[in-house]
Amino acid sequence: MAALLARAPAIVNGIERDSDPGSLVQKLNKKPFKLDLTELHAICDANYVRLLRLFPDYENCNSRELLVGTAKVRLAVIERCRYTTIFHLHQQRADSRWLGQLRVEVRAYHDLRMLEVMVFQSSRKVAARYQYPNEHMFAQDEKYQQNRFLADWLAHCLQTGRAALDLGVSMTDSRSG
């Protein structure tokens, strides 16, 4: 019996004490998660500008295609309203071993000049924060991470993307009878 009690964790003031005193200190010093809205808004502001640089004629055109390396990127307008526009961003890679397909749905708030990720890949709408751990194993700052990823992806498209134009140029000279 004494051996069993010696191996059981001690509970002091309602806190389970491990054999490692460092883990107890770590549990006590852990601060609750706090979402930095200022930083999230700055990312959303910059993403709005990046998207409009990639798709400046979104008001008159429903889609735009770009080539980014071996990937084909399609930006499409899903819904237009007075103050918002919903875009579907889709990347399909020729070599689908790494990030084969990327599907993101974003909402642009034109009065605020912000762009927010609504749906990332196939997941449902993302909450601003999550308790951790949770059923779907989302990070506490999942929304921040998705908007940060979008920032990096849009910047990459701006740096390395080129218009996917089908020029349809004939290689024969029409004057040579």
Q: Is residue 73 part of a domain?
A: yes
| CA–CA dist 54, 74 (Å, integer) | 11
Question: Quick one: which of 35, 55, 40, 68 has its CA closest to 148?
Answer: 40
Buried b (16+ CB within 10 A) or exposed e, 46-69: bbbebbeebbeebeeeeebebebe
For residue 121, what are the domain limits?
A: 53-159
Q: Is residue 1 part of a domain?
A: no
pLDDT in tens, 140-149: 777 888 999 9
Q: Is residue 131 part of a domain?
A: yes
DSSP letter at 19? Answer: S
pLDDT in tens, 36-82: 889 999 999 999 999 999 999 999 999 999 998 888 999 999 999 99
Q: Is residue 172 part of a domain?
A: no
Q: Is residue 94 part of a domain?
A: yes
| The model's pTM | 0.70
Domains contained in the chain, number: 1
Q: Is residue 88 part of a domain?
A: yes
